[in-house]
Amino acid sequence: MATPKVMGSEIEYGITVRGDSDFDPISGCVLLVNAYREDPTSEILWDYDQENPLADARGFQVDGEKYTPNQQENIARNKTLVNGARYYVDHAHPEYSCPEVTNARDLVVHEKAGERILEVSRREANALLPEGTEMLIYKNNSDRKGNSYGCHENYLMDRRTPFKNIVEALLPFFATRQVYCGAGKVGAENRGAAVDYQISQRSDFFETEVALDTMVKRPIINTRDEPHADRDKYRRLHVIVGDANLSEYTIYLRNGVTALILSLIEDGGIRKNLSLRDPVKSIQEVSHDPSCRRELSLDDGRKLNAVQLQAEYLEMVLAHYSSRSLEPIDKDVLTRWQHVLDCLARDPMELSQQIDWVMKKAMIESFMERRDVDWSSPQVEMLDLQYHDIRPSRGLYYLLERQGRAERIVADEEIATAVHNPPVDTRAYFRGSCIEKYGSAVFGVNWDSISFGVDGQPIKRILMAEPLKGTKRHVDELLGSSPTAGDLVKNLQD
* Residues annotated as part of the active site: 90
Residue 209 CB-half CA count within 13 A: 16
Q: What share of the chain is helix, strand, coil (3-state, %, to 5)?
A: 40, 20, 40
In DSSP terms, 90 is beta-bridged to: 93
Q: How far is CA 297 from CA 134, 193, 304, 305, 312, in A?
A: 48, 19, 7, 9, 15
By DSSP bridging, strand 185-186 and strand 151-158 are: unpaired
Separation of alpha carbons 292 and 308, rounded Å: 9
Separation of alpha carbons 197 and 185, rounded Å: 6
Sheet holding 93-97, edge to edge: 78-80, 86-90, 93-97, 7-12, 151-158, 234-242
Separation of alpha carbons 306 and 312, rounded Å: 10
For 392, list phi and psi in degrees, rounded to 5. Answer: -55, -30
Separation of alpha carbons 138 and 365, rounded Å: 21
Q: Please tell me what DSSP assigns to residue 471.
A: -
Separation of alpha carbons 441 and 412, rounded Å: 33
Separation of alpha carbons 236 and 227, rounded Å: 4
In DSSP terms, 389 is beta-bridged to: 138
320, 262 contact by CB (below 8 A): no
Helix (H) or strand (E) holding 106: helix 104-126
Q: Identify residue 358 by its one-letter amino acid code.
A: V
Concatenating the DSSP letter of every residue in 180-239 gives HH---EES--TTPPP-SEES-SSGGGEEEEEES-SSSSEEEEE-B---SS-TTTEEEEEE
Separation of alpha carbons 395 and 383, rounded Å: 10
| 190-195: long-range pairs with CB below 8 Å, 24+ | 190/146, 190/148, 192/284, 192/288, 193/284, 193/288, 195/288
CA-based end-to-end distance of the chain: 34
Helices 104-126 and 412-420, axial angle in degrees (round to 10) = 70
Q: Give the contacts of 490 (CB within 8 A, at least 6 positions apart).
A: none
Per-residue exposure over 238-256, b if at least 16 CB sit within 10 Å of its own CB, e if not: bbbbbbbbbbbbbbbbbbb
